[in-house]
Amino acid sequence: MLKTFEESLRLVRARSRRDWQRDFPEPALSLWIPKRPQEPLVPAESVGFADRTREDSGVGGPFLSIGRSHVGWLRKSDRNAFPVISLGRGDECDVRIDIATISKLHAVFASCAGVWSLSDRGARNGLVVNERAIESGGSTDLRSGDQLLFGTQVEATFHSSDGLYDFLSLLA
């Protein structure tokens, strides 16, 4: 798994799209996490993607960070027994974002026949996809490049494997 942002850029430069899709088939999120009051940057442990545990002291597993910007693959963890990828503040979430405006279980990602969807799980501060609020309990299909807002502060972009390759290629 990629350990650094620089490593991911080297891989994009060195691999064909087909090789990238084979090695990294999962979709990903690029997230922007706001800084907390009285903190220069959000600490690495405030965002956790699938392979991370509470004991992790730094950024690792399937996500890369540059300051407050993070890129992570959507993967199941052992913390969540359900057949969806959960996002929220709760310790059991696959994608854990420890920000006060994020609910314990804010939203879930699911895939059916290759189509990814995002569902609101009664998020206190809402879920927005492409500037359209998703009602509590509602769901919407996702396309690569869709803009997401979790709560009032956490902005994200959903990327298919191809979309992440294109995104990183722009930076490489």
Domains of the chain: 5-171 (2.60.200.20)
Residues of the chain with pLDDT under 70: 1-5, 35-68
Residue 135 tokens, joined? 């009602």
pLDDT of 4 reads: 63
Q: Which of 105, 144, 111 is nearest to 124 (CA)?
A: 105
With H, G, I as helix, E, B as strand and everything else as coil, classify residue 141.
Answer: strand
Give CA separation, 168 vs 40, 67, 85, in Å: 26, 16, 23
Say whether pTM exceeds 0.95: no
pLDDT of 45 reads: 43
Angstrom distance (rounded) from CA 82 to CA 121:
14
The crossing angle, in degrees rounded to 10, of helices 5-14 and 161-171 is 100
Angstrom distance (rounded) from CA 168 to CA 172:
6
